[in-house]
Homo-oligomer: A and B are copies of this chain.
Amino acid sequence: MGTSKASVKPALKRGGPSVDKTSLHKLSYGVYVVCSKNAEKFNGQIANSLFQVTAEPPTIAVSINKQNLTHQCIDICKSFSVSILNRNTPLSFIGTFGFKSGRDIDKFKNIHYKLNKSNTPIVTENAVACLEASVCDKLDVGTHTIFVGAVTNAEMLTSDAPMTYEYYHTVKGGYTPKTAPTYESESDQKRKKQTEEKKNG
Chain B CB within 8 A of A107 CB: no
Tell me if B55 and A131 are in contact (CB < 8 A).
no
Tell me if A181 and B26 are in contact (CB < 8 A).
no
- One of A38-46, A70-78, A96-104, A134-142 contacting the partner: A134-142
Measured between C-beta atoms, what is the minimum distance from A53 to chain B in Å? 4
Rounded to whole angstroms, the CA-CA distance of A95 and B24 in the bound complex is 25
Tell me if B156 and A28 are in contact (CB < 8 A).
no
Q: Which chain B residue shows the least CB distance to A25?
A: B129
Question: How many chain copies?
Answer: 2
| A21-B58, A58-B24, A156-B22 known; A139 vs B150 contact (CB < 8 Å) | no
Interface size class of A (residues with CB under 8 A): 35 or more
Q: Which chain B residue shows the least CB distance to A29?
A: B28
Tell me if B26 and A162 are in contact (CB < 8 A).
yes
Rounded to whole angstroms, the CA-CA distance of A40 and B46 in the bound complex is 44
Residue-wise interface mask of A (11-26) relative to B, using a CB-CB cutoff of 8 A (1 in contact, 0 not): 0111110111111101
Tell me if A15 and B58 are in contact (CB < 8 A).
yes
Measured between C-beta atoms, what is the minimum distance from A72 to chain B in Å? 18
Residue-wise interface mask of A (51-62) relative to B, using a CB-CB cutoff of 8 A (1 in contact, 0 not): 111111111110
Tell me if B181 and A24 are in contact (CB < 8 A).
no
Q: Which chain B residue shows the least CB distance to A15?
A: B57
Q: A27 contacts which chain B residues (CB < 8 A)?
A: 30, 32, 50-52, 60, 84, 162
Tell me if B49 and A50 are in contact (CB < 8 A).
no
Rounded to whole angstroms, the CA-CA distance of A98 and B58 in the bound complex is 21
Residue-wise interface mask of A (168-189) relative to B, using a CB-CB cutoff of 8 A (1 in contact, 0 not): 0000000000001111110000
Q: A12-B134, A28-B165, A59-B181 are known contacts; what are 12 more A-B pairs with Cβ within 8 Å?
A: A15-B57, A19-B151, A20-B129, A24-B52, A26-B30, A27-B32, A49-B52, A54-B181, A59-B142, A139-B146, A146-B146, A164-B164
The 5 A-B residue pairs with the shortest CB-CB distance in the complex, in nearest-first order: A28-B30, A23-B129, A14-B57, A15-B57, A53-B63
